[in-house]
Amino acid sequence: MSEPVATVPAVRWWTGLLAGALVVAGVMVMPAVAVAQTATISEAFSPAQIAVGATSTVTFTIPSSDPTASGFTFTDSLPAGLTLTDTPSTNLGCLGTATANGSSEIDFSAPVGLGTGCTVTAQVDGLEAGNGDNPVTLTSSDPSTSTGDVYLDVVAPPTISAAFGTSLLGLDGTTPLTLTITNPNQTASLTGIGFTDSLPSSLVVGGPAGAGDTCGGTVTASTGSGSIGLSGGVLPPGASCTVVQDVIAVGTGNVTDTTSVVSSNEGGAGNATSATLELVGAPVISLLSPLSGQDYAFDQNVRASYSCTDDPSGTGISACTGTVPNGALLDTTKPGSHTFTVTATSNDGGVSSDTVFYAVAPDNLVRLGRVHAHRGGLVDFTVTVPGPGTIDVVETRPRHAAFARWRSSVDRAGKVTARIKPGPGGRATLDRRRTLRVTVSVTFTPRGGNAKTTSFRVELSS
């Protein structure tokens, strides 16, 4: 038996309008109803960060809204430190008007509607550093309100100060110059920090750059130059850094060192600074011994003699030193040219030096070996010499002319054997007298030095 088949009656689809409603297949669809759109407001600063004294443009944007809405208003009271520099203006097509109330308030009113939408612009100057919060609220006939909020970062420039390590500096003295740079901003970092310092003519840079620099970037300073500079320095909010450079006094008098203004990328140009320093004369040295240009004998006793006094405007002597202490013996056991230097340093850092040149003659001391007297008047012995020179040996009898002579030149230090024998006349005298007592004088003249004679007596036999 087959299953029954359900029968579905035919359905007729129809449409129609009923009191403004669309009826589809017996279902009523209501027409769309216009929903009012609440107006909104937004704002922006351009640029959003400026230096103190610079200008930014503030723009308030209110898009078009329900054309039935009206009575749009806002009042913007600028944060402290900002001031209006022109009259606020609106765009073409905006039905509202913008006015300035003094120098710190912008008022906007659109009583009958916004039209195609409104932008309100005005220029403001940053008078004080800070991160200014600028909230604004738009109201209208619609009970809803809209709030915009934006910040303008006003950045102060860096500051710089300078200080010398002392207030009084002697000629040729050295003192540090410390240049301190500070970022006064509590929220903004500073980059591109730079300054230049052209030193007074009485001061020069005393060393290469870099020893005491904490600002980053590049410090320019070279020994003996007259300027110091910084470029590309970086400081985080509220931080300080230093550029420390030794300077040397090359003149006297009261001097003032003044820098350029210090500047940065974000904060622009800041202040210049200066520091003062009194420069006095160098200490005075009196060097009495050794004498300049003096020739001293080898191993001669020579005592140093010198003294130091400060400039009358100075603060006294802190050190007076020589190659050897005052009153001490010089070393005259080294032949040749020598220098002797005295350096005076004052309490105020002044420095002066005096150098003299003197010479020590070559060593002329000789040592004689054992003397041998042979029959017939021959005498021999050794002579040890300290260096090149000439040896002269002479035998003499009291109240008589020379009995015998011997001479030799030597090229180096060492031992030489001297052999002296009488000539025919001396030999005849010795034969006649059988014995003679003679004095032997040995003179050594070092090359470039002074002669020195050593004598002894010997008895000759025929």
Q: Is 245 exposed, middle or buried (0-12, 13-18, 19+ CB in 10 A)?
A: buried
CA 190-193-194 angle, to 5 degrees, is: 165
Pull the structure tokens for residue 193: 């920090």
Q: What pLDDT does 70 receive?
A: 86
- DSSP tally for the chain: helices H, then strands E: 1, 42
pLDDT in tens, the chain (462 residues): 333 333 333 333 233 333 333 343 444 444 434 444 578 999 999 999 999 999 999 999 999 877 778 889 999 999 988 999 999 999 998 999 999 999 999 999 999 888 889 999 999 999 988 888 899 999 988 777 888 889 899 999 999 999 999 999 999 999 999 999 999 999 899 999 999 999 999 999 998 876 678 999 999 999 999 999 999 999 999 999 999 999 999 999 999 999 999 999 999 999 999 999 999 999 999 999 999 999 998 889 999 999 999 999 888 999 999 999 999 999 999 989 999 999 999 999 999 999 999 999 898 889 999 999 999 889 999 999 999 999 999 998 887 778 889 999 999 999 999 999 988 888 888 888 888 899 999 999 998 888 899 999 999 988
Alpha carbon distance 416, 386 (integer Å): 11
User: How far is residue 427 from each of residues 115, 392, 414, 422, measured CA to CA in Å?
Assistant: 150, 21, 31, 6
Task: Say how many C-beta atoms besides its own lie within 10 A of residue 301's C-beta.
Answer: 9
12, 227 in Cβ contact below 8 A?
no
187, 49 in Cβ contact below 8 A?
no
Q: How many residues does the chain have?
A: 462
Alpha carbon distance 224, 245 (integer Å): 12
Cβ-count burial 91-106 (b if 16+ within 10 Å, e if not): eeebbbebeeeeebeb
- In order of start, what are the domains of the chain with their CATH numbers? 42-155 (2.60.40.740), 159-280 (2.60.40.680), 284-360 (2.60.40.10), 367-461 (2.60.40.2550)
